[in-house]
Amino acid sequence: MTLIVPPPWMLTGNGLILLYRFPRAFAEPWLPPELRQAFLGGIGAVMCVDYHSANCGPYRELLFVPGAFRLGGRIFFNVSTIYVSTEVSVQSGRANWGIPKQLADFEVAPGLRQFTASRDGVPFFRAAVRGHGPFFPANTAWSPAQPALVQPWAGKWLRTRPGGRGAVQLAGVEQIEINGAHFPDIGQLRPLAALRAHGFELRFPFAAPLTMNEFTPNHITAKT
């Protein structure tokens, strides 16, 4: 049975954001083949999210953003690896935005103190964090540059510009354990920063289809 909940989506919840500068050699095995030449690097992220509400119902999520890309003179980001806890989120994410969601099981401790993702009963990602200091407001509308997500999927290119707001707090990473067969092994890297997001609101609008001639090899600018 097809389970697709159409956009736009409004989501609320809590999350953990780990910011990194991923070396190209580290990120490359996890890049979509269509985008390998366009990878610029810069700031990437791992996000652990507990959605309390969403159009498809509550779910949990683990995702990897390797960094920035440039195609046709445009800078954008890409979600290259992502796991979620419900099948409706898997199917809707792929159909609506080209996000390559896969199914996993999750355990989340209160306050996102610990976040675990498993497949077939075997954990492949575990992170433990401790927040410290006050929460301060954050809003994507404050950013002068808001690069979109561009996702190649099933022969199409889809561009989406999500937006959100909430409160964030600095955090310290106490433990990270990863099975690198299922997710990039960030345990070997030191994060630039760790943030706990609390009570955020996120909007995922309709994706805009892009024509393939906008992303021909002649328009690709790769980092050397």
**Please, are residues 104 and 82 in contact by the beta-carbon 8 Å criterion?**
no
Tens-place pLDDT, residues 40-67: 999 999 999 999 999 999 999 999 999 9
Closest CA to 9 of 163, 184, 215, 118: 163
Q: Which domains does the chain have, with CATH numbers?
A: 9-219 (2.40.400.10)
Average pLDDT, the chain: 92
Q: What is the pLDDT of residue 213?
A: 61
pTM of the model: 0.93
Tens-place pLDDT, residues 107-127: 999 989 999 999 999 999 999
Strand intervals (E) in 22-147: 39-41, 43-53, 59-65, 68-71, 74-77, 81-84, 101-103, 105-108, 114-119, 122-131, 136-139
As a whole-number percent, the residues of the chain with pLDDT over 70 amount to 92
186 Cβ contact partners less than 8 Å away, ≥ 6 residues apart: 18, 20, 46, 176, 178
Tens-place pLDDT, residues 67-94: 999 988 889 999 999 999 999 999 999 9
Least confident window among 24-38, 164-178, 208-222: 208-222
The DSSP element (H or E) to which 88 belongs, if any, is: helix 87-97
Q: How confident is the model at residue 97 (pLDDT cuts 50, 70, 90)?
A: very high
Residue 38 scores a pLDDT above 50 = yes
**Please, are residues 99 and 151 in contact by the beta-carbon 8 Å criterion?**
yes
Residue 220 scores a pLDDT above 80 = no
Q: What is the pLDDT of residue 146?
A: 73
